[in-house]
Structure 1
C-alpha cells in the first residue's frame, strides 16, 4: 500500500479553506500535515507556521505543497520549495505576471520538481463533452460573459487591486482556462478596454475580443454583479449548432435542448490530477490562459492611457 503524499498548504485564505482543505481530506492519496500563514494560528488538528523558514526549521516532513497565497509573492516561495525537493501545485493564477510564471516554470525544470498550474475550472464536469463538440463542429463565433460579485468571492482581499493582482481577470481567467482547454488555438487579443477603480491598479471590468483564424469570440468580465451572477461561454457553429457552458462549466446546453447540470467538485479533480502527476513525476504547467489575460490587461491599460 502506497504511503499518502504529505502536503502543506501555503496560505490559508478563503480558497484554501473553502476548497483545498476539503479536497485534500477527501482524497486518500494525500495527507494534510500542516500549513503556512502569518495571520492564522495553529489549531489542535493542524499546525500552522508563520513562514516557510519556520516550516523548514520545524523538521516536519512533507512531499508536496499547494500554494494558495496572493500571486505577487509566489516566486520566492516556489524556489524555496523546489530546493527542498517538493512537488508544487499553484492555485490560479500561477503568478502575478507571465514573466514570473515562466521563471517559476524554469526553476521547476532545473530542480526536477513536479509543477502543476491548477486551472480548477478545467475540472468542471462538461469539459470533455464541450471539447468533443468543438472538434465535431466548425466554430464561427462565440461569447464569454463572466460577471460576479467581488464582495462575495473576494471579501477584504486588497491584493486583488494592487499591481499583479489582476483585478477582474482573476475570476475571468477561469473562463479563459476553459476556452483554451476545449478550443486550443492561437488566440489573439484585440480591442481591449478596461475600467480601473479609483485608488486601484487592477481593473474591475474588461471587454475585449479574441481572434483565431476566422473565428471571433467576444469577452466581457465584470466584478460588481450583485445579483444573477453569470459565468457563461457560448459558441456558434457554421451548421447552426450552438453550445452553452454556464455556471462555470457545471451546466451544458446544446442547441435548443435543456441544460444538463452536474454538481461536481472541481477541486476533487484537481487533486486527482496532482496525485497522478506526482506518481508519474510529471509537470502540467500550461500558461495559455495567463498569456491571454495579460495581453488583454496590458492592451486595455494602454488604451486608457492614450485616451
Structure 2
C-alpha cells in the first residue's frame, strides 16, 4: 500500500476522492492539504510545500482543487519527485498541462490527467461496439442543475472556471474515448449571464455530424445522454455512461474491476505508477478551448445562486 496526499478538501473530494481512496487496496490516505477542509483521522496541512518537506514518505499527490490554482500545486509536487493525479479538467489552459507533462517526464514520475466519466460502467463496452463501425453522426444532451452540483461556488463562472463546459467536458471526455475517429469543432454558441464571465449554456457543432447541447439550469431529473448513429444502428449512453442502449434496447455487460468511477481512477493511477507511465490525454480540453476561441457569445439573464 502506497501513501497518498489529497489536496483540496471540498465537495468533490469529500463525495468522491476520500471514499475512493479509503476503499482502494493500493492507497493509504496519509495527509490532506486544504485552507479549511480536513478529513477525520488524517494529518492535515494548510500548505503543500510544508507537507512535501515534512512527509518524504508520501509518494503520490492527488489534486482536487479548482483548475486555476492547481498548476502551482502540481508543479510543486512534481518537482518534489511525487506522482500526481489531476482532477478533471487537468488545468486551466492547455499550455500549463503541457508544462506539467514535460516536467513529469523530466522528473521521472507519473502524471495522470484523470477523466472520471471515462470510467463509467458502459464507456468501455460502447467503445468496443463502435470500434469497427462507421459513425454517421452523434448528439450529446448534457443538462444539469448548477445549484445542486456547485452550490454557491462562484469560481465556476469566473475566468478559468469554464461555466457549463465544466460538466460538459465530462461528456466530451466520453465522446473522445468512444469515437473510432477524432472530430474537431466547427462552431459554437455560448450563452453567458450578464453578470458572469463563463457560459451557462452552450451549443457545439463538430465535424462528422456531431453536435452537443449543454445547459446548467435543468432542475429535477438530470440528463446525461450521448447518442451515436452508425447508419441504421443507434447506440445511446445514458446517465453519464452508466447505461447503454443499442437501438433502444438495454445492453448490459459485466464490469471488470472496482465499482464506481473514482475507485477505477485510483486503480488506474496505481497501475500507471507501477508501470512508470503517464497518461495526459488533453483531447476533451482541446474541444473546450476551441469552443472558447471559436464560439459566438450571447448575453442572457443574470444568474445568482
TM bucket, shorter chain: over 0.9
1:18 is aligned to 15
TM-score calculated relative to the size of structure 1 = 0.92
Give 1:112 deviation, angstroms: 1.6
**Residue matched to 1:88:** 84
- Residue of structure 2 in register with 1:224 after alignment: 217
* Partner Cα separation in structure 2 for residue 217 and residue 153 of structure 1: 27
Tell me, yes or no, if the aligned pair for 2:52 and 2:77 is still in contact at 8 Å: no
- Aligned-pair CA distance for 1:303: 4.8
Give the aligned partner of residue 238 of structure 2. Answer: 246
| 130-139 vs 278-287, greater mean Cα deviation | 130-139
Unmatched runs of 5 consecutive residues or more in structure 2 = 300-305
Aligned partner of 2:26 in structure 1 is 29
Alignment of 1:1-307 (within 5 A): 4-41=1-38, 43=40, 45-59=41-55, 61-211=57-207, 215-238=208-231, 240-258=232-250, 260=252, 264-300=259-295, 302-304=296-298
Q: Distance in 1 between matches of 2:93 and 2:158?
A: 12
Indicate the SS of the match to 2:129. helix
Aligned partners of 1:296 and 1:15: how far apart in 2?
25
Please tell me whether the aligned partners of residues 21 and 27 of structure 2 are also in contact (alpha carbons under 8 angstroms). yes
Residues 59, 186 of structure 1: alpha-carbon distance in 2 compared, 3 angstrom cutoff = closer
C-alpha RMSD of the superposition: 1.8
Consecutive unaligned residues in structure 1, runs of 5 or more: none
> In 2, Cα distance between the equivalents of 1:218 and 1:199?
27
Preserved contact between residue 137 and residue 237 of structure 1 (Cα < 8 Å): yes
Q: In structure 1, what is the Cα distance between the partners aligned to 2:161 and 2:248? A: 39
Report how far residue 261 of structure 1 moved: 9.1
1:256: Cα distance to partner?
3.0
